[in-house]
Amino acid sequence: MTRARVAVALGAIFAVFFALVPFISLHVDWVLPGTVNVVNSTGTLEVLALCFIFAGVALGYDVMFGFTGLLSLGPVMYFATGVYVFDIALTRWNWPLASALGLTFAVSLVLALVLGAIALRVSGIAFTMVTLAFAQAFYYLIEDNPHGLTGGDTGLALSTARLPAFMSGAVSNTRNLYWIAFGFLVLAYAVVWVVTESATGHVFVAIRENERRLEVLGVRPFGYKLASYTLSSLVATGGGVAYILLIGTAVPSAVASTTVTLSILVMVVLGGAGTRWGAVTGAILYVYLQQYLLKVAAQPSFATLPSFLRVPLSQPQFLLGAIFVLFVLFVPGGVAGLVSRRRTPSLKQLVAGQRRKQ
């Protein structure tokens, strides 16, 4: 079997496994993030669904950052668009589901095209900072609670009146929401796969490698960069919609702050920027660890630890940040880099192999 076939087979096995997780009522100690140590308990399914949502968002972000080389610090803006526009359309305006979805993606598309075109007028670090500033402005706008739409700091709970019954936030629906989140990830993966393997996707990589060379070849990078930015934004919006369905409440600090952007970036780099499965793995590891560490820190026995251990260990943000720093320093290429380094022999091994032949 070729490498590509092995990858497809592995991906299919994982997909089938995760699709069937809600039926696995196995009791597993220690490793599950939910409070009940059963695989298909509500808590664990919720955490896994959150993993899938961020995996999709991270994958979209990877198209822009890992494949096209655009370090944007604004993906949270499109995630928040998905959360808030969908939430406002359903809750404040009582729109039907399909119209709410249509509006959400239309708003995201327009925002991405307009703001992307402005931000892409500058390149490099200036682009990074402009996207950061736009995302921050968006955050302020949400906090401002214009016309009482967003609910400001207190947030906006999703009204499920216009949603089909199987989607409402009831506990018995958790497995349906799990499948929605999983479906979002599969869809995002399929779209990103098709795009990155297409001719357009190859131009993305060429932009990352050497934009000037591309211009010399007569290709104008701007349109491709905007396309990459827009695709990544639309995927983030899809993630936002899945998020609000799963979590049921939109709070600015959780869905619109720069911290979210930075976590998405951390996920992609941990997993391996520029690879599809790397971004997905990084996001799943990140969210899972984050939730798992919170559970561990809430254990009663945890309070008996001395404070120099308890304080750092109770902060997932500290542990994940520290792991991230260590990865950047010692494991460039992330998890995907580790795997491919094992697969492709190093220069030293090649030379040794040559010597042996002689």
Residues lying near another protein in the complex (CB under 8 A) are found at 71, 118, 121-126, 128-130, 132-134, 136-137, 140-141, 143-148, 258-259, 262, 265-266, 269, 311-312, 314-322, 324-325, 328-329, 332
Closer of 116 and 238 to another protein (Cβ) = 116
Residues 6+ apart with CB under 8 A from 48: 18, 21, 178, 181, 288
Contact 80, 255 (CB under 8 A): yes
Burial bucket for residue 326 (CB in 10 Å: 0-12, 13-18, 19+): exposed
Closer of 328 and 351 to another protein (Cβ) = 328
Give the up-direction half-sphere exposure of residue 59: CA atoms within 13 A in the CB hemisphere. Answer: 27
Closer of 39 and 119 to another protein (Cβ) = 119
204-to-65, 189, 326 alpha-carbon distances in Å: 10, 17, 29
DSSP-based three-state secondary structure for 26: coil
Tell me how far, at minimum, the Cβ of 152 lies from another protein, in Å: 9
Closer of 79 and 179 to another protein (Cβ) = 79
Closer of 15 and 313 to another protein (Cβ) = 313
Tell me how far, at minimum, the Cβ of 329 lies from another protein, in Å: 6
Tell me how far, at minimum, the Cβ of 16 lies from another protein, in Å: 34
Tell me how far, at minimum, the Cβ of 80 lies from another protein, in Å: 15
Closer of 61 and 182 to another protein (Cβ) = 61
Closer of 238 and 282 to another protein (Cβ) = 282
Q: Which residue has the tokens 């655009």?
A: 70
Tell me how far, at minimum, the Cβ of 51 lies from another protein, in Å: 19
- What are the residues facing 172 on neighbouring strands? none
Closer of 118 and 352 to another protein (Cβ) = 118
Picking from 280, 331, 306, the residue whose alpha carbon sits closest to that of residue 63 is 280
Q: From CA 28, how far away is CA 25, in angstroms rounded?
A: 9
Residues 6+ apart with CB under 8 A from 289: 316, 319, 320
E strand spans, the chain: 156-157, 249-250
Closer of 141 and 157 to another protein (Cβ) = 141
Closer of 22 and 271 to another protein (Cβ) = 271
Q: From CA 151, how far away is CA 218, in angstroms rounded?
A: 49
Phi, psi of 28 (to 5 degrees): -125, 130
Residues 6+ apart with CB under 8 A from 278: 62, 66, 268, 271, 272, 334, 335, 336, 337
Contact 236, 58 (CB under 8 A): no
Tell me how far, at minimum, the Cβ of 320 lies from another protein, in Å: 7
Q: From CA 55, how far away is CA 47, in angstroms rounded?
A: 12
Tell me how far, at minimum, the Cβ of 69 lies from another protein, in Å: 9
Tell me how far, at minimum, the Cβ of 45 lies from another protein, in Å: 27
Tell me how far, at minimum, the Cβ of 82 lies from another protein, in Å: 21
Tell me how far, at minimum, the Cβ of 255 lies from another protein, in Å: 17
